[in-house]
Amino acid sequence: MTLTLSIDELFAQAYEWQASGQFLRAGHAYAEYLNHRGKDPSGWNNLGNCYRSLGCDEKAIPCFDRALELEPGRPSSRLNRGLSYLAIGDYKSGWADYEARLEAISFKSEIVAQRTCQWNGETLSGGETLYLFGNQGLGDALQVWRYLGEVANRVSQVTLELQSPLISLTKNLPSNVKVIERGQRVGKAHKWCELFSLPGIFGTELNSIPEPVGIGFDRDDNVLRRIETERRKDRHALQVGLVWSGTPANSLNTYRSLSLEKLRPVLELGHCQFHSLQKGTPASEVEQLESSIRPVDLSSHLTDFASTATAIEALDLIITTDTSVPNLIGAMDQSAWVLLHEPADWRWGREGQMSPWYPKLELFRQPKMRDWETVVDQIRCRLAGLDSI
């Protein structure tokens, strides 16, 4: 790249390209910038993130290393390096760096500041209470749900704080786990721990990931009746649930999600009755389709995760993108088809049709960035060949 901008303008241009998803172009600009300001940790961090966004984590890690040489302990660079380590399967290094999220994410910063009270897996008895909370998304909490039993074995009393939609999934938790909704009074606690510290605390490696333990919830009769009504119309039709988008406010949603319209080749299959499990603004896309291929809209019945879990159990198959839903299905130890963007989030691994975290989920990966057409065609061909699940 020929330098026609000032150094500061070059950095700003690189950042703009990065923010708009032009990662290769942004990476070239950051490299040129670093030829002039090679001691700027922000430049190295951003270049590393461009590599990471392109799925080149082996190239990203040395960039984060350099940023940390220039600014030791830099939370964002440690966190980003941790994500790259996790992506390549180096979990030991990954969990150590991933702890930097406690500094990079301001949530519960007043609690996190009390480092001497952080729980590291030791036994707590004699009435001592552990305060366990999450600072990430719903799917992240569901992914580490499998560790709660072991926590309860080591701690006499656990106060588990969860976001509202997850409360309905807590029927089978150990008796010494008290569940509160985020925002409720915590009460006295002797130690604290963030949920996604648990894999590192228990020394989880790729070959030692605990199996999902299942989820306890009350079945929603309204959801069951609605699905059974559709099933009675054609007992031979496959009843298939669809989720095509996460929360639009998430900056990654533009990569992880697709429009319902892009699923038209699948929706046109005549031997399937589709049901929308989509929530939020994208749910309105159902009404934009002609009635002949329009999925049954279950969104008004899905009031919490228990109702969504009820639908998952009642339907023959779920097809979903990378949202909280595949994490819910995986935590339930159920099967589903998951449509993944390229590069996929670290929890899905870098290749293959199975995640080590959720062995019953079948993964359909983009062959290249933003190529949903190939994935949809794969789904259409697989579904066309099915008479039953």
Instruction: Give domain status of residue 1, yes or no.
Output: no
Question: Residue 331 is part of a domain; what is its CATH number?
Answer: 3.40.50.2000
Which tens digits make up the pLDDT trace of 321-333?
A: 999 999 999 999 9
Q: Are residues 203 and 239 in the same domain?
A: no
Nearest to 372 by CA among 264, 262, 274, 261: 262
214 within a domain of the structure (yes/no): no
Average pLDDT estimate for 89-111: 95
pLDDT given for residue 250 in this prediction: 85
Instruction: Give the separation between CA 72 and CA 84, rounded to whole angstroms.
Output: 18
Last residue within a domain, chosen from 208, 237, 264 = 208
**In the structure, what pLDDT confidence band is assigned to residue 46 with cuts at 50, 70 and 90?**
very high
pLDDT in tens, 124-183: 988 899 999 999 999 999 999 999 999 999 999 999 999 999 999 999 999 999 999 999
Asked if residue 196 and residue 160 are part of one domain, the reply reads yes
Task: Give residue 252's pLDDT band: very low, low, confident or very high (50, 70, 90).
Answer: confident
125 and 270 in a common domain: no
What tens digit of pLDDT does each residue of 263-276 get? Answer: 999 999 999 999 99
Same domain? For 60 and 118 the reply is: no
Distance CA 118, CA 130 (A): 9
Q: Residue 249: pLDDT band by 50, 70, 90 thresholds? A: confident
**How large is the average pLDDT for residues 187-197?**
95
pLDDT tier, 389 (very low <50, low <70, confident <90, very high otherwise): low
215 has pLDDT over 90:
yes
Same domain, 315 and 169: no
Give yes or no for residue 1 having a pLDDT over 60. Answer: no
Q: How confident is the model at residue 283 (pLDDT cuts 50, 70, 90)?
A: very high
**Mean pLDDT across the chain, nearest whole number?**
95
Whether 99 and 116 share a structural domain:
no
Asked if the structure places residue 213 within a domain, the reply is: no
What is the per-residue pLDDT across 152-166, written as a single tens digit (0 to 9) for each?
999 999 999 999 999
Tens-digit pLDDT profile for residues 308-351: 999 999 999 999 999 999 999 999 999 999 999 999 999 999 99
Tell me, yes or no, whether 120 and 96 share the same domain.
no
Is 216 a domain residue? no
Q: What pLDDT does 33 receive?
A: 97
Is residue 91 a part of any domain in this protein?
Answer: yes
Question: What is the model's pLDDT at position 324?
Answer: 96
Q: 309 and 340 share a domain?
A: yes
| Spatial CA neighbour of 364 closest among 388, 383, 389 | 383
Q: Are both 122 and 197 inside the same structural domain?
A: yes
Strands, E, within the chain: which ranges? 124-133, 155-162, 177-181, 191-194, 238-243, 272-276, 296-297, 317-321, 336-340, 361-365
Instruction: Output the pLDDT for position 3.
Output: 53
Q: Is residue 2 part of a domain?
A: no
* Alpha carbons 321 and 242: distance in angstroms, whole number: 9
- How far is residue 362's CA from residue 359's CA, in Å, rounded to a whole number? 8
State residue 251's pLDDT score. Answer: 85
For 18-44, how does the pLDDT look when each residue is reduced to its tens digit (9 = 90+)?
999 999 999 999 999 999 999 999 999
Q: Which of 152, 177, 208 is the last residue of a domain?
A: 208
Whether residue 215 is contained in a domain is answered as no
Domain count, the chain: 3
Decide which of 155, 177, 208 is a domain's last residue: 208
Same-domain check for residues 72 and 128: no
- The answer to whether position 179 is within a domain reads yes
Q: What is the pLDDT of residue 127?
A: 85
Give the domain CATH number at 71: 1.25.40.10
Q: Is the model's pLDDT at 2 over the cut of 80?
A: no
User: What is the distance between the alpha carbons of residues 150 and 174, in angstroms, rounded to a whole number?
Assistant: 10
| Residue range(s) defining the domain that contains residue 168 | 109-208
pLDDT, residue 288, reads 96
The average pLDDT across 74-78 equals 97
Residues 143, 180 within the same domain: yes
| CB burial readout 250-274, b (16+ within 10 A) else e | eeebebbbbebeebeebbebeebbb
pLDDT at position 388 is 59
What is the model's pLDDT at position 277? 98
